[in-house]
Chain A
Amino acid sequence: DIQMTQSPSTLSAAVGDRVSITCRSSQRVTDWLAWYQQKPGKAPKLLIFKASTLESGVPSRFGGSGFGTEFTLTITSLQPDDFATYYCQLYDPLFPRTFGPGTKVEI
């Protein structure tokens, strides 16, 4: 089975910081990689799909990059509303849809 990992598991940052979260897959995949944001008690929200495409309505401070086995979510200037947990998800049709374990972004 394909495994997805994320680093760091927790990230402490301040408003205005540039932060990056890395997602790695145990096998080489294409760019069918999404990023979701989840706040406590809420459903996840799609931020990025196809590794780097910004979902409609998502602020441009969010960006995605990567291909193969390593992907990155970057927030260029952290805002108070961005403190949340972020998950990557592989949705390559060749593999079961698999989420990473999550990265909590906290103050």
Chain B
Amino acid sequence: QVQLVESGGGLVKPGGSLRLSCAASGFTFSDYSMTWIRQAPGKGLEWISYINEKGDFSKYSDSVKGRVTVSRDNAHDSMFLQMRSLRAEDTAVYYCARDQGVEVVPTADSWGQGTLVTVSS
């Protein structure tokens, strides 16, 4: 059974940094690309980052580009999101998600339960 568990969220001051983790189990992690998606309180979904299976290619939304770095450790079935220069508008639940494995162009088919990041002084 696919399981994704996010951690690392919490309260951080504006301008601060935070590192989110996503622990994967129930599938061969290194066979799948992964994404991060966030949802501000009471708002819709926003895709923010993608990383390929090997971890040598990544993409970011314009809203986080330059402030966020995605990485993965296939040996430990984990993905990370390093966030810097955090702003109030980064306050959201952050979800990690697994992309479909068999599709040529995949979308996210399994999601974690999310971790809440609150940026406030």
* Chain A contacts to B: CB under 8 angstroms: 1, 32, 34, 36, 38, 42-46, 49-50, 55, 87, 89, 91-93, 96-102
Contacts and interface: CB of A to CB of B under 8 A. Distances in A.
Given A49-B103, A50-B103, A96-B59, A89 B45 contact: yes
Interface stretch (B70-78, B84-92, B106-114): B106-114
Given A92-B105, A93-B105, A96-B61, A44 B44 contact: no
Contacts of B105: 32, 91-93
A99 B45 contact: yes
A43 B95 contact: yes
B114 A43 contact: yes
**Interface range on chain B (Cβ under 8 Å from partner):** 20 to 34
Given A49-B107, A91-B106, 10 more contacts: A1-B62, A34-B107, A38-B45, A43-B114, A89-B47, A97-B35, A97-B50, A99-B45, A99-B46, A101-B44
A79 to B, nearest CB: 22
Nearest to B50: A97
B100 interface: yes
Interface in B27-56: 35, 44-47, 50
Residue with the highest number of chain A CB atoms closer than 10 Å, among B45, B46, B100, B112: B45
Contacts of A43: 95, 111-114
Contacts of B59: 96
Contacts of A89: 45, 47, 107
A45 B62 CA distance: 25
A44 B45 contact: yes
26 contacts: A32-B105, A34-B108, A36-B45, A38-B45, A42-B113, A43-B112, A44-B95, A45-B111, A49-B109, A50-B103, A87-B44, A89-B45, A89-B107, A91-B105, A91-B106, A92-B105, A96-B59, A97-B35, A97-B47, A97-B107, A98-B47, A99-B44, A99-B45, A99-B46, A99-B47, A101-B44
